[in-house]
Amino acid sequence: MRVLFSILSIVLTISSCKNNAHSESDDFAYIGGEIINPIENTIILESKNKTIDTIKLDGRNRFFYKIDNFYPGVYTFRHGSEYQMIMLEPNDSLLFRLNTFDFDESLVYTGRGARQNNFLLNEFLENKKTEQAVRKFRSLSPEQFTSKLDSIKQSQIAQYNKFKKKNDVSDAFENLILQHINYSYYASKETYPFRSDRNQIEQIFKTLPKDFYAYRNDIDYNNAKLKDFIAYKWFLKSNVSNLALNEHMDHCSEDDFKKGRSLCFNLDRLKQIDSLISDKGLKEELLYHYTVKFLSLSDDTEETNTILKNYLAKTENDKGKKMIINFAEAVSKLNAGNSLPNLDIVDYKNNSKDLSDLVNGTTVITFWSNTYYDHFKSSHHKLNRLKLKYPEVTFVSINIDTYNVNKAKRALQSNGFVSGNEYFFKSPKLATEALAIHPMTKTFIINKNKKIVNGNTNIFYGKFEEQLVGLLKR
């Protein structure tokens, strides 16, 4: 009852405000809400790559905000490292309520504009399932694969048409939904070749129908309004990788592009980004993403310097340049034979120690974040299996979030991952930079002398256990 009254009180407040605002023009909208278990005391509202305002929560973890000089379209609200997109129309008074322990799944909208945004949210959640299904379809022939995707697309359009019949929707909202459906479809097609070794992929390209990528003629590579859309980002990353792969195979005989370790392939990928994308925000994000990804996998100083130089020549973002240089320097200090940096860690009983104190024999160190919840669960299940198989090895898991230790505790407890080797960093930002933790799957293997044996492996890597056994036999 208290929860219902809480939401109702906000709705009544907004209704009152709107009733007193009939004389105003339509260049405004309201957004408000309540956050359960807040990570911090602010909400950041953004649009078109710019921050509109940082809004403080009140003593009851609520906020209410009027957007002046309003224009209809896509907005993003951020809380901690989590974010979600919303669609706002003139005179909307959109409310939301969420629990940070289950950010997207607990999110629900009420108020004017709620129906559209609840539909949009559902599309976002369903898109995750679509990505998983597409991975299974890639073993089919091009024609069968296309048929499966066409069926998914038609189902999505049918769901939207059903919603449209029951609700008044704006042209802008319809355009947004259809773009979301289309780019999800395009992204799925772009991923089709990435499923096997080089010889098979060459054959795959030869068997693709001529119209397999016909939609590429209609692509907008610079739609900043969709920059936070999962489907749009998924498409851009898949597309530039696909185009780079095609070019790479024409002039390079290497067979390691699939792992992202090929310098040639990654240079081709940065070239595609630079030539196709002019929007500064989108371009910088993709250049940075793939440069960091390569640096995190490379142990060749010459190749590292080459990719770094190439990135610096293509970006105009001074902040990005500084971050990439710092990341490259951190990676160079984590090569085999080096010691771990001195970093303070804390266990879940608030006992503090140095990271190196955890190493008293062969040790594996992994990381996780609430932001990557699927990885959190799959990595801990994997660690449980490895612990049973290699009892002589110490397996350590460290949460890297900069906030809310209680959320991490709850995630571990609710999933049954209670262990004596779970920690978090005292200074997460400093530790993440010093250990160059990217991607989240990054794993360290440390020997009994507290020296790094491999600072860039992955417990899901096919040869991970081979690496571990090799160390145990020394």
Question: What residue has token string 């995750």?
Answer: 128
Residue 255: its pLDDT value, please?
A: 57
Residue 109: its pLDDT value, please?
A: 96
Per-residue pLDDT tens digits for 46-68: 987 788 999 999 999 999 999 98
Residues 6 or more apart whose Cβ sits within 8 Å of residue 101: 36, 37, 407, 410, 411
Residue 25: its pLDDT value, please?
A: 52
Per-residue pLDDT tens digits for 397-431: 999 988 767 778 888 888 889 877 999 999 999 99
Phi (first) and psi of residue 261, to 5 degrees: -95, -10
Euclidean distance between CA atoms 249 and 409, whole angstroms? 47
Read off the tokens for 189.
């097609």
In 187-221, which positions are buried (b, 16+ CB within 10 angstroms) versus exposed (e)? bbbbbbbbeeebeebeebeeeeeeebbeeeeebeb
Residue 2: its pLDDT value, please?
A: 44
Residue 166: its pLDDT value, please?
A: 94
Residue 256: its pLDDT value, please?
A: 55
The string of DSSP letters for 364-413 reads EEEEE-GGGHHHHHHHHHHHHHHHHH-TTSEEEEEE--SS-HHHHHHHHH
Residue 194: its pLDDT value, please?
A: 80
Per-residue pLDDT tens digits for 135-158: 888 888 999 999 999 999 999 999
**Residue 92 clears pLDDT 70, i.e. is over it:** yes
**Residue 472 clears pLDDT 60, i.e. is over it:** yes
Q: Answer with the residue of higher pLDDT: 77 or 259.
A: 77
Residue 196: its pLDDT value, please?
A: 61
Residue 22: its pLDDT value, please?
A: 39
How many percent of the chain have pLDDT more than 90?
61
**Residue 303 clears pLDDT 80, i.e. is over it:** yes
Task: Name 36's bridge partners.
Answer: 99
Residue 156: its pLDDT value, please?
A: 94
Strand extents, DSSP E, 81-199: 82-88, 93-99, 108-112
Averaged pLDDT, 104-127? 90
**Which of these ranges, 124-128, 285-289, 331-335, 467-471, has the smallest mean pLDDT?**
124-128
Q: Are 405 and 411 in contact (CB under 8 A)?
A: no
